[in-house]
Every structure is written in structure tokens, then in C-alpha cells.
Amino acid sequence: MSGYRHTVGQRSYDFENLRTLMARATPERAGDLLAGVAAASATERVAAQMALAEVPLRAFLSEVLVPYESDEVTRLIVDTHDTEAFAPVAHLTVGDFRNWLLSDEVDGATLARLAPGLTPEMVAAVSKLMRNQDLILVARKCRVITRFRGTLGEAGRLSTRLQPNHPTDDAAGIAASILDGLLYGSGDAVIGINPASDNLPQVMRLLDMLDGIIERYAIPTQSCILTHVTNTIAAIERGAAVDLVFQSIAGTEAANHGFGIDLAVLGEARDAALSLRRAADFDGHPGDNVMYFETGQGSALSSNAHHGCDQQTIEARAYAVARHFKPLLVNTVVGFIGPEYLFDGKQIIRAGLEDHFCGKLLGLPMGCDVCYTNHAEADQNDMDVLLTLLGVAGCTFVMGIPGSDDIMLNYQTTSFHDALYARKVLGLRPAPEFEAWLQRMQIIAPGEGFRLESGFPGAFRRALGHASEGP
């Protein structure tokens, strides 16, 4: 390629290649400044955005940002691209694509058909030309439905991951957090524990504990221990009750190597989970959404594996990895890595909306850990804003943690009460199967709206009492 140029006033700005152009067009964030790839000024950023708007979408199929020969994620993106699905937008530039996405003629069904024809770089590029409201409007059109024991992602629904972490993996502490979450209507996406130890026997004990709770109370949800994927494979080989396989993933081969994984091991893990056949049958077919992935802008930079790309584009490439393995859930842990990558509340809010937009447009069941670390220039009011915007945008799920404070991972996120707020103010409900269970347990009131029953739920109290009596 001969490069890209745009003139603003009397000055012309030159961009050596598509990788550089994408980085300069990205809204300002700490990680790109740290990597030395950001625009030097707001004027240069605008020039890059205007130049990017004129780039044909087809250019992303011929000019890769990370070398094909040395990166298996690039090979996955290129080799699995669906040219037939891409055909309706193949003639568009990035700017035209933005206008097309925002048009009233484009609906959720159209975007679902298009998803296999889009590459991560295409959706990252168009996101750089969008205001926050544009990201919300388009993401809201996208509906990605996945299933395990319940149905996630339907319109008018907001699910939650019940996250009962404990600094010593204490069973009583974990159980208390699970009970607390269920009483707030949390846990329909997954009950997922970040273990304090990756010790395999301890991981298996936690898996058995969660399986026992779900089975005893017939809760239509699924469990996950967020240990390394190789640990989960070993647990499956030893007969553990594994519902979902977890792994953190990134957008380059080198960054994934930093996580101790590659595409082959993810495929092995998915096959192992499918062999257990623990997912419910839907429409006569066994469920195949058995993976839970987490991502976050900046992970490739922290392992020096970003190839000179901006962090948001590399994040979008992680979604190509996720899409290949048909996950039940994908969670962008948006502010977890720290202010070196997303400095303040404004940058975290923007990144959360970008990630949700890009993932949904690529056909993924996107959730968001609306979070920040204690040394970031952010607070819970910023998280309230992002939570509300994501609820409007049709986010699949958010986190539910006692008091918003993860006492094991030591970061701030959303509480059971925060999820309750989002459901109430936006008229959203849990997954349908989980909602029916909450009503049977008298945790929520029947009828319109999401309203908790007053007092300790009678049916659930009786179920707890019956369980404590034993067989």
C-alpha cells in the first residue's frame, strides 16, 4: 500500500499504512499513548478519522494489520471470512458503512446475516467514526441468542453473572454470596467463581459445590470456575461436573501465548465440554454454547504483543477467536487492567460501548464487567452511567457482586442492587427460564415489571429448609 493522506486546513497528514491510520483515528486513551501509536493531536485524530472514512471495507481483506504468516488469529480471520455474507456491504467505504448501519432499513435480522462477513478490523474501523449514541443505537439492533439451561440475549432481557468470589475460597462465604445474589434475582447468565487458588482439587471441590446447589434447587443456570483452560480440561478428565469452560483470550497469537493458550487448546477444551452433554436440549438439539471468554483492552500491550496496533482494534480481534468457538458468554472486563490502559471514567465508558458494539456486530453474546480499579480516575457514578448506557444498548449480561466490591480480586464493579436498578429503570427482565424459577421460589412477584417480593421468600425458604434436612 502507498499509505493514506488527508488534509486539514493548510496541513496534510500522512499515514504509512492501515495499521497506523487505525491507531491515529482512535479516540484518545492511555494505552495507545503508552504504546506510542496514538495521534499526536486532536487535529491529527480528526484527519485520520476522515481518511479512514474513505477506506473501502474491501481494503481490510487485502491489507492485514498483523502478519498472516506469523499470527494464527489473522489466519483464522482471513480463512474463515464469509464472502457471501459480506456481499451486501462489499461496495461500501467505512464511512458509508457507518451511515448504512445507522439507517432505519437495517434491522437485527440483516445484521445477523451480515455478521459472518465482517472482520474485527472492519467493525473496529467503523466504531472509530461513531459517537457514543451511534454505538448504542446499532448495538441495540443486534440480538445474539445463546442457550445452556436457559435462554440468554432475548430482547427486553438483562442477565447477570453471580460472582461470589472469596479470598480463601471459603465454602460458607461463597454460599452466603450465592444466597444473597439469588435473593436479588441475580445469576441467570452464570454462577461463576474466580478461585483464589488454581489448585486442581480445590477447583474440583468448587465445581462440585456449584453443581450441587444448581441441582438441589433446580436452578435454570450454569456454573463456571474461572481457572485456566488446561485446569478445566484436567477436571473434565477426572470426572468433574463442568458446565462452562472459561478462558481469558486476546487478539494476537503472541498475546494468547502469554495466557498460555492457542486455538488448538481452546478447541480441545470445547470438545471435552461438549462430550459431557450437560447443556439442555433446545428444539430437539443439544446445546453447543459451552465456552465463557473474557477479554479486555490492553492485554496485548501488557504482554508486548500488539504489533503496533491500537488496543481497541486488538480487542476486536479477540472477538474473532471467541466467535469461532460459539460461546455462551463473552465478557469485556472493561476497566480491570488499570489506568495505564484506560485512564479515567470517560475512557472506560467509551471503551465499554466500543467493545459491546464490536462484539455484537460480529455475532457475539456480549456482556460487560462495568468496573474500575481503585487507582483509576473513576468512581461508582461513572459505572452507573456505563451500566445504564449498556442496558439501553441491549447488553446481554453484567456482573452481580455483593456490595460492588470484589473482596478477592480487589476491584470495583456492579452489585446485585445495581443490576436490580438497571432492570427496574429500563423495564428489563432476567432470562425467561430463570424468571419463572424466581417466581416459583416467590423471590420476585408475578406480573409486569421486575419487583422483588417483600420479606424472605416463602417458597425459597421452604426449599432451603428442606435441603438442610437432607435426604
Residue 1 — pLDDT band, cuts 50, 70, 90? very low
Distances (CA, A) of 283 to 286, 327, 435: 8, 19, 20
Question: What is the model's pLDDT at position 466?
Answer: 66
Mean confidence (pLDDT) of the chain = 95
Spell out a b/e string for 94-114, using b for 16 or more CB atoms within 10 Å of the CB, else e. Answer: bbbbbebbeeeebeeeebbeb
The average pLDDT across 26-42 equals 97
The answer, yes or no, to whether residue 469 has pLDDT greater than 60, is no
Residue 223, helix vs strand vs coil: strand
Q: Are 445 and 185 in contact (CB under 8 A)?
A: no
CA 196 to chain CA centroid, Å, is 22
Determine the residue type at 297: Q
Q: Express each pLDDT in 417-450 by its tens digit.
A: 999 999 999 999 999 999 999 999 999 988 777 8
Determine the residue type at 363: G
Euclidean distance between CA atoms 271 and 276, whole angstroms: 9
Question: What is the model's pLDDT at position 453?
Answer: 86
The average pLDDT across 269-291 equals 92
Residue 393, helix vs strand vs coil: helix
Question: What is the model's pLDDT at position 2?
Answer: 65
Question: What is the model's pLDDT at position 471?
Answer: 38
Give me the percent of the chain exceeding a pLDDT of 90.
90
Task: Give the predicted TM-score (pTM) of the model.
Answer: 0.96
Question: Torsion angle, CA of 225/227/230/233, rounded to 10 degrees?
Answer: -10
